[in-house]
Amino acid sequence: MSTRRLTLTALMAALVFVLTVAVRLPTAAGGYLHFGDAAIAFSAVAFGPWVGAVAGALGTGLADLYGGYPQFAAISFLVHGLQGWLMGWLMQRRLSTTKAILAVIAGGAVVVAGYFLAEVIFYGAAAALSEVLPNTLQGLVGGALGVSLYLAVKRAYPPITRYREQERR
């Protein structure tokens, strides 16, 4: 791994962390909504599946430890790491609207399913069901924001596409 790739991955993980802890909107079952998913989606689409995975895993896992949700740190690490990897993998070849929609839906589904299973274990089925809608909104809105941000950055700074190309090699 090059110094540039390592630095970029660390920066993306820090961005996920900041967007996860900066604005936290509480949910009924005691969790919270955040904008970290937008940074995960941006990282995955802009820099590939492994940067998206590491940024998502480290950023949200550390945010849970920092923010008082240590019981969810390992879950967030796995769920958001998989979300970042899957979105980056689906968007790896050629960008298209269909692939972007599929990536956002797949990433959102990973978030919803992962947290649902964890919340059933921690809090029971009723509490887990109450979190499905907020987690769905977080995953889909965050994914759509992240992909939109990438497209805007790509228009303003076209060389960003070379990072995705380097990931494929």
Q: What total of structural domains would you count in the chain?
A: 1
Q: Provide the residue type at 30 as one letter.
A: G
Q: What is the rounded distance in angstroms from the CA atom of residue 115 to the CA atom of residue 94?
A: 30
Q: What is the pLDDT of residue 169?
A: 57
Q: What is the pLDDT of residue 162?
A: 83
Q: Which domain holds residue 20?
A: 3-168
Q: Provide the residue type at 146 as one letter.
A: G
Q: What is the pLDDT of residue 66?
A: 96
Beta carbons of 51 and 12 less than 8 angstroms apart: yes
The pTM assigned to this predicted structure is 0.92
Q: What is the pLDDT of residue 60?
A: 96
Q: What is the pLDDT of residue 73?
A: 96
**C-alpha distances out from residue 89 to 22, 70, 86, 157, 162, Å:** 28, 29, 5, 22, 16
User: Can you tell me which residue has the tokens 């994914």?
Assistant: 143
CATH number of the domain within which 94 lies: 1.10.1760.20
User: Can you tell me which residue has the tokens 């959102």?
Assistant: 108
Q: What is the rounded distance in angstroms from the CA atom of residue 86 to the CA atom of residue 114?
A: 14
Low pLDDT (below 70) residues in the chain: 165-169
Which tokens sit at 93?
Answer: 């070849």
Helix (H) or strand (E) segment spanning residue 26: strand 25-26
